[in-house]
Structure 1
Amino acid sequence: MHFPSREQIAVLQRQYPRGTKVELLGMDDPQAPPTGTMGEVMGVDDAGQILVRWETGSSLSLIPGVDSFRIAEKGGQS
């Protein structure tokens, strides 16, 4: 598994600050929320995954470059 550098993590944290609203467009995971589900970014972990609390109650993370999603509303700076 490839882990991003500290600099890459910092970029992701700036792109997806805590509170950012995201919409799921597609995820290849049997536990994935339905397409179109909205979620709120809780943070970015050391592996570069975006931690999301989905409106369905799930907390499945997004993987940039693998999962398909869009920013619906930018959050504040953490």
Structure 2
Amino acid sequence: MHFPSREQIAALRERYPRGTRVELLCMDDPQAPPTGTMGEVIGVDDAGQLLVQWETGSSLSLIPGVDSFRIVQKGGQS
């Protein structure tokens, strides 16, 4: 498994700050929320995955470059 560099993690955290609202377009995972589900980014882990709290109650992470999603509203820096 390839892990992103510190610089790549920092860039992801800047692009997807806490509070960013996202819409799921496609995720190849049997536990994935339905397409169109909205969620809120609660952080970016050290592996570069977006930690998301989905409106369904799920907390399944998004993997940029693998999962398909779009930013609906950018969050603010805390």
> TM-score per shorter chain, which class?
over 0.9
Which residue of the partner structure matches residue 18 of structure 1?
Answer: 18
Q: How many residues align?
A: 78
* Aligned CA-pair RMSD: 0.4
How far off its partner does 1:40 sit? 0.2
Alignment of 1:24-63 (within 5 A): 24-63=24-63
What secondary structure does 2:58 align onto? Answer: coil
- Counterpart residue identity of residue 39, structure 2: G
Which residue of the partner structure matches residue 71 of structure 2?
Answer: 71
CA distance in 1: counterparts of 2:6 and 2:77, whole angstroms: 18
Q: TM-score, normalised by structure 2?
A: 0.99
What secondary structure does 2:18 align onto? Answer: coil
What secondary structure does 1:41 align onto? Answer: strand
The unaligned stretches of length 5 or more in structure 2 are none
Q: Percent identity between the aligned chains?
A: 86
- Counterpart residue identity of residue 37, structure 1: T
What secondary structure does 1:8 align onto? Answer: helix
The unaligned stretches of length 5 or more in structure 1 are none
